[in-house]
Amino acid sequence: MKPDPHCDPCFPDTRWTLISRLRSGDESVSRPALSELCTQYHFPLYCFIRRRGLNHHDAEDALQDFFAKLLRLDSFASADPEKGRLRSYLATALHRFLIDWRKNGHLPRDSNDFQPCTPRGDALNLRYERESGDTSDSPETILDRRWAHELMTRVLTNLRETQTARGKGRLYDALLPVLLAGGRLQRGQSAELAAELGISEGNVRISLSRFLRDYRDALEAAVLETVPSRHQIPEEISYLLSLFSRD
């Protein structure tokens, strides 16, 4: 697994909290939630639009209009967490939006009503060219791939913050390569880490076990935000990891 170093941190850690806030009739709740959604899904949805054939500037405008429409029309009132994953809902909604957007001559409607804190400009286009992957990927596939990278990076960012807050930032840095290599110590690695950290090899193994548990908890919390129910977590994690294996 190779997390994307350019992604924004902080994925919500409770079940469909974001959707619940988006569905709120209180704009002081729903607008910040939409800003959070923009931060989390901006680049995956931008990639989805680009793969639909739009150029950089049109993709920026279309995505801005899409986010504005989501808020203006109370779109999430009909989002049922029992009927599918959040990214699938967004992909379907965006696909339908793009059909209308093209029919209406790319004219923005009330996009100034909402200004999300999302990146715009040449840097976004350059990132797409660098990270868009196989040109044969469908829009849905590239959305899933970028979603997986963004989610994993947020998980590791949150894990780093948690470990650092516990005074274990150095331990995080030492054990992260083990995690990314599959979570198992290689021959002689426990002795090397023990010398580096100034602890016994036994404590290295204990620390790694706890580190992997914390990582799993953080990953499950992030995935639970995007799926209908807890029992779908294993399937979703398996799918997420399979996306990394195809990169």
Look at residue 121 in the predicted model and tell me its pLDDT. Answer: 67
Contact present, 24 and 16 (Cβ < 8 Å): no
Mean pLDDT of 113-129: 70
User: What's the sign of the alpha-carbon dihedral 138, 69, 124, 159?
Assistant: negative
Look at residue 19 in the predicted model and tell me its pLDDT. Answer: 66
Q: What is the pTM of this model?
A: 0.75
Look at residue 81 in the predicted model and tell me its pLDDT. Answer: 57
Question: 212 pLDDT exceeds 60?
Answer: yes
Element (DSSP H or E) covering residue 59: helix 56-72
Chain centroid to CA 185: how far? 28
Q: Which of 196-200's residues contact partners 24+ apart within 8 Å by CB, and which partners? A: 197/170, 197/171
Least confident residue range of 10-19, 84-93, 127-136, 186-195:
10-19
Question: 143 pLDDT exceeds 60?
Answer: yes
Q: Which of 109-114's residues contact partners 24+ apart within 8 Å by CB, and which partners? A: 109/65, 109/68, 109/69, 110/68, 110/69, 110/72, 111/61, 111/64, 111/65, 111/68, 112/68, 113/68, 113/71, 113/72, 114/31, 114/34, 114/67, 114/68, 114/71, 114/72
Question: 166 pLDDT exceeds 70?
Answer: yes
Look at residue 75 in the predicted model and tell me its pLDDT. Answer: 64
Question: 159 pLDDT exceeds 90?
Answer: yes
Look at residue 175 in the predicted model and tell me its pLDDT. Answer: 96
Q: Which residue has the higher pLDDT, 116 or 187?
A: 187
